[in-house]
Amino acid sequence: MGKPRSRQPADIARAGRRSLLELAAEVSRAVDEALAMTPGSINATLQDAPRIAQVIPAPMPVPAQEAASVIAAGSEPPDSTTTDLIVNLAKECQARALDGMKTGAHAALDFANDLAKDLAKRRLDGTTSDASGPSATESHLIGAMGTAAECRIVVLELMKINAGATLEYAWELGRARTLAELVELSSTHARKQCELVLKQTELLKSVAQNMTKPGTR
Amino acid sequence: MHVVAVVTQKGGSGKSTLSVGLAMAAMQRSERVALIEADAQGTISKWRERRENPYPRVERVADPADIELVISRLQGDGIWLAIIDTAATNNVLATRAIACADLCLIPARPSAADIEAAIPTLIAIRRLDRRFAFVLNQTPTRGARLSEAAASLSSLGVLALPFIGQRNDHQDALGAGLGVTEFAPEGKASEEILALWGWISERLIVESNDHGQAALKTAC
């Protein structure tokens, strides 16, 4: 009779525990979000004291290549599990970013289409003016035409930026020769993409808000 | 003078042991070194009491307002390197230590708790625009977890080399009032700490040179 196993097989244990890569992505987001807020507490802490901090020169930015070289030069070759996790993380981030953009773009384009349809319908109904000159309805429709055009331009511009970023990432991936480079590229791209999506979502939101405000045009 | 702050709010990540190890490694390279203990726990002071050799100099700081004064005094006394050991909390003293540092070291074990605990430290470092590097500490000698932790930390910033393995020599040296390079000079732990100090000193010197050139350019 065999001795009962005292611990789980490594692959089962690994599947059960939390991915440190995903955690690092969450940490990165948390740090970025905190930095985007007002740095009150740190400033208050250092308001009267950082004499040496002011004398000491501003630090150099974190060298990306240096970070990449760390894993390449590590004492142990990275295994396939790590590679898979990194690739999955990058794919997940891309998918999330694209989904967010698709949703935003669809919402904005639907809105623009609705405005255009509304305009066409009202023209057909012949309700665009009255005897005393251009009415409020007409100026609303002229405004709606402008808003729809503006919305299309914004969405197209965002699509162009995203396509450019994706192409650049794909090009860089093609040039990656080591796992370390892949890690660096994936993490940088994921971070940039998340930042980009946040900014673009804000922009789309503000465009949508402008459209819905009465009398903005 | 160069100032290195060892910071993270995670307890047990090896800040004091690493501070002592690095200070002794630098001393072995004939540098004038001081340790600044900004941690009420007093690990370094107790280590200093067990130590027969009067060097390195150890300064205790409890009041956040004193840290700059201590650094100025050490600089005036010709100290080349000051290593600040901070408490396992995100307090004002730790923040001031970060503000004073040329390089912040964030020791982290290959665990989710250690990586998560780095958030407030990273926020403070980035707000204060300081240079930093993670030190993967108390690691197992091999395994997927180590690779994954290395990949995770390097996605958050620079990861120092080499990783510091989980070895009894570190704890035994601390208990004997010695640095690991004195306690077991031929051991693997000693080799790793010396290599890590080499990595850190290169960055300190490069930064110092860059600053010198930048200052020269500004002056011209």
Nearest partner of B107 among B145, B88, B134, B131, judged by Cα: B134
Distance from CA of B175 to the nearest CA of A (A): 28
Which of chain A's residues have a Cβ under 8 Å away from the Cβ of B142?
76
Which of chain B's residues have a Cβ under 8 Å away from the Cβ of A70?
150, 154, 158-161
Chain segment B174-183, per-residue pLDDT in tens: 999 999 999 9
DSSP A155: H
Which band of pLDDT confidence, cut at 50, 70 and 90, is reported for residue A180?
low
Angle CA(B163)–CA(B10)–CA(A46) in degrees, nearest 5?
105
How confident is the model at residue B72, as a pLDDT? 94
How confident is the model at residue B108, as a pLDDT? 95
How confident is the model at residue A70, as a pLDDT? 35
Q: Cα separation of B167 and B192, whole Å?
A: 11
Q: Which one has a higher pLDDT value, A216 or A141?
A: A141
Angle CA(A112)–CA(A116)–CA(A120) in degrees, nearest 5?
170
φ, ψ of residue B194 in degrees (nearest 5)? -65, -40
Candidate ranges A189-198, B27-36, B86-95, B174-183; pick with highest mean pLDDT: B174-183
DSSP calls for B88-120: SS--HHHHHHHHH-SEEEEEE-SSHHHHHHHHH
Strands B57-60 and B33-38: parallel
How confident is the model at residue B96, as a pLDDT? 92
The alpha carbon of residue B63 and the mean position of all alpha carbons in its chain are separated, in whole angstroms, by: 20
User: What percent of chain B has pLDDT above 90?
Assistant: 75
DSSP calls for B7-74: --S-TTSSHHHHHHHHHHHHHHTT--EEEEEE-TT-HHHHHHHH-SS--SEEEE--SGGGHHHHHHHH
Write down the CATH number for the domain with range B2-219. 3.40.50.300
Distance from CA of A190 to the nearest CA of B (A): 10
pTM, 2 dp: 0.58
Nearest partner of A204 among A142, A146, A153, A129, judged by Cα: A153
Number of residues assigned to chain A: 217
Type of residue found at B65:
A
How confident is the model at residue A191, as a pLDDT? 64
Q: Which residues contact B124 (CB under 8 A, 6 or more apart)?
A: A42, B90, B94, B95, B98
Q: Which one has a higher pLDDT value, B130 or A121?
A: B130
* Structural contact between residues B35 and B23, judged by C-beta atoms closer than 8 angstroms: yes
Q: Cα separation of B92 and A194, whole Å?
A: 32
Distance from CA of A41 to the nearest CA of B (A): 10
Type of residue found at A103:
T
Q: Which one has a higher pLDDT value, A60 or B35?
A: B35
Per-domain residue ranges of chain B: 2-219
Q: What is the torsional sign of CA A134, A137, A138, A140?
A: positive
Residue A87 has pLDDT above 50, yes or no: yes
Residue A78 has pLDDT above 60, yes or no: no
How confident is the model at residue A101, as a pLDDT? 61
Q: Which of B152, B156, B161, B199 to mutate to test the interface with A (most CBs of A within 10 A)?
A: B152
Residue A133 has pLDDT above 90, yes or no: no
Least confident of A52-66, B8-22, B204-218: A52-66
How confident is the model at residue A132, as a pLDDT? 47
How confident is the model at residue A79, as a pLDDT? 41
- Residue B122 tokens read as 């990273």
How confident is the model at residue A18, as a pLDDT? 74
Residue B3 has pLDDT above 80, yes or no: yes
Please compute, for residue A8, the number of CA atoms within 13 A of its CA located in the half-sphere on the CB side. 8
Chain segment B49-63, per-residue pLDDT in tens: 999 999 999 999 999
How confident is the model at residue A189, as a pLDDT? 67
* Structural contact between residues A46 and A53, judged by C-beta atoms closer than 8 angstroms: yes
User: Looking at the partner chain, which of A27, A79, A187 has a beta carbon nearest the beta carbon of B119?
Assistant: A27
* 3-state SS class at B83: strand
Residue A113 has pLDDT above 80, yes or no: no
Mean pLDDT, rounded, for B37-50: 94
Q: Which one has a higher pLDDT value, B18 or A209?
A: B18
Chain segment B195-209, per-residue pLDDT in tens: 999 999 999 887 666
How confident is the model at residue A35, as a pLDDT? 83
Nearest partner of A113 among A105, A125, A124, judged by Cα: A105
Residue B108's alpha-carbon distances to A41, A105, B170, in angstroms, are 25, 41, 16
CB atoms within 10 A of CB B157: 21
Residue A75 has pLDDT above 60, yes or no: no
How confident is the model at residue A108, as a pLDDT? 63
Residue A74 has pLDDT above 50, yes or no: no
Chain segment B103-157, per-residue pLDDT in tens: 999 999 999 999 999 998 999 999 999 999 999 999 987 777 888 889 889 889 9
Judge whether A184 is closer than 8 Å to chain B, CB to CB: yes
